[in-house]
């Protein structure tokens, strides 16, 4: 796949994740600002999940910008994501919130791996 096409696809996927994060944060902020609204864990969970899903895409965009090479950046991001998922254990905090944040971060990493696999078919993650 050509580098321009890869970069465009990455930008589209990253922008979708970033926009979803922005929208969920805005919904949370609106509910938090409404004195009549009852805030629940679901309100926070939506924003935390969106942030976790967007984080690896934001990191990948920054890596592409630093390296100037989309394919190399994707390969590096995939290696890093796989290492984080296989070499780090899941959070064992006594805080349920901390555990959820970690779970969403890990789901974001899995999503990045799934959604970039076809972009570089030769991107062996070793």
Residue 2 pLDDT > 80 = no
Residue 48 to residue 103: CA distance in whole angstroms: 10
pLDDT at residue number 120: 62
Across residues 47-75, what is the average pLDDT?
Answer: 92
CB atoms within 10 A of CB 105: 18
CB atoms within 10 A of CB 28: 18
Residue 88 pLDDT > 90 = no
Radius of gyration of the chain (CA): 16
Instruction: Tell me the whole-structure pTM to 2 decimals.
Output: 0.82
* Residues in Cβ contact with 43 at an 8 Å cutoff, skipping those fewer than 6 apart: 27, 28, 31, 32
Confidence of residue 1 (pLDDT cuts 50, 70, 90): low
């Amino acid at each position: 796949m050509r580098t321009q096409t890869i970069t465009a696809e990455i930008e589209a996927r990253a922008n979708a994740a970033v926009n979803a994060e922005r929208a969920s944060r805005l919904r949370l902020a609106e509910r938090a600002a409404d004195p009549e609204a009852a805030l629940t864990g679901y309100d926070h969970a939506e924003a935390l999940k969106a942030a976790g899903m967007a984080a690896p895409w934001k990191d990948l965009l920054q890596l592409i910008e630093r390296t100037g090479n989309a394919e190399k950046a994707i390969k590096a991001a995939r290696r890093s994501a796989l290492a984080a998922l296989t070499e780090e254990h899941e959070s064992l905090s006594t805080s349920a919130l901390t555990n959820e944040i970690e779970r969403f971060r890990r789901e974001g990493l899995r999503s990045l791996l799934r959604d970039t696999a076809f972009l570089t078919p030769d991107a062996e993650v070793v």
